[in-house]
Each structure stands twice: as C-alpha cells, then as structure tokens.
Amino acid sequence: MKPNKVFSILILSSFIFITNVLSTLYNKQYFYSFLFGCLTLTSLIYHYNTNIYTNILDKIFILAIVFYGGYVLYNKIPTDKYIKILLILLSFLCCIFFFFYGYYVKDYCYNPDKYIGNNYHCMLHIIASIGHHLITFL
C-alpha cells in the first residue's frame, strides 16, 4: 500500500523519535537510543506499509520503549522534581487514553474519519516523544 495524503502525517511524525535518539545518545543512554532508533524505523515502515507483520514489529518496539522508559524512570525518580514526574505520568496517561480508550469507543486514534484519527495518532507520537525526553533528562 502506497502512502497517501491521509497517511503522510504519520510518516512525518514518526521522524520525531530521531530527537529521542539524539537526546539519549547525548546522555550516554545507548540502549535507550538503540530502542528509539529501532522504533523510528519500525514506525516509518509500519506507516508506509501497514500490515499485520509491520504492526507486530512496531508494537514490539513500542512496548520495549514503554517498559524500558518505566525502568529508567523508576531508577531515576528524583524526590525534588514532582512537576517532571507528574508531566511524565500525564504524557503516559494521555497516550493510553488516545490509543486504548480511543479503540474502545472508536474515536481519537480510531476515529472513523482517517484524517482525524491520524491527526490524533500524530499527536500521540509527539506526546510520547516529549514524555521520554523528560525521562531522559531527569
């Protein structure tokens, strides 16, 4: 399936994860950087050629990022930076809301209008990237 204008925003928004690759490299978090590099590639592949295999591959790296990000956050929890922790948790909850609750109610990322759904998915990329930047720079 060739990308069209509806899907092009998701291909473009996948490139935001390169900023996470660079910030984790800067902070010498090489495994985190590797995971974000893989996520960037799988996200681009999935949004260019959507099928069950690219979906599974993309979900593997999404889960790897979520779990490793949680691990890093748990090991870096500062006692004096409650605002950052709150923003990180809020970004995580927003992603859960747009993706899983959206699936349940067939709205947000799963809106029947693909243009609207893809805009929410793009916003999900941005929110997730920001949340992981906050974890990286704790």
pLDDT in tens, 12-43: 999 999 999 999 999 999 999 999 999 999 99
Distance CA 55, CA 111 (A): 18
* CA 89, 95, 100, 101 torsion-angle sign: positive
pLDDT of residue 17: 97
pLDDT of residue 79: 72
Could you tell me what percentage of the chain is helix, strand and coil, using 3-state DSSP and rounding each to the nearest 5?
85, 0, 15
Is the distance from CB of 18 to CB of 40 less than 8 angstroms?
yes
Joined tokens for residue 126 = 């941005």
Q: Is the pTM of this model over 0.75?
A: yes
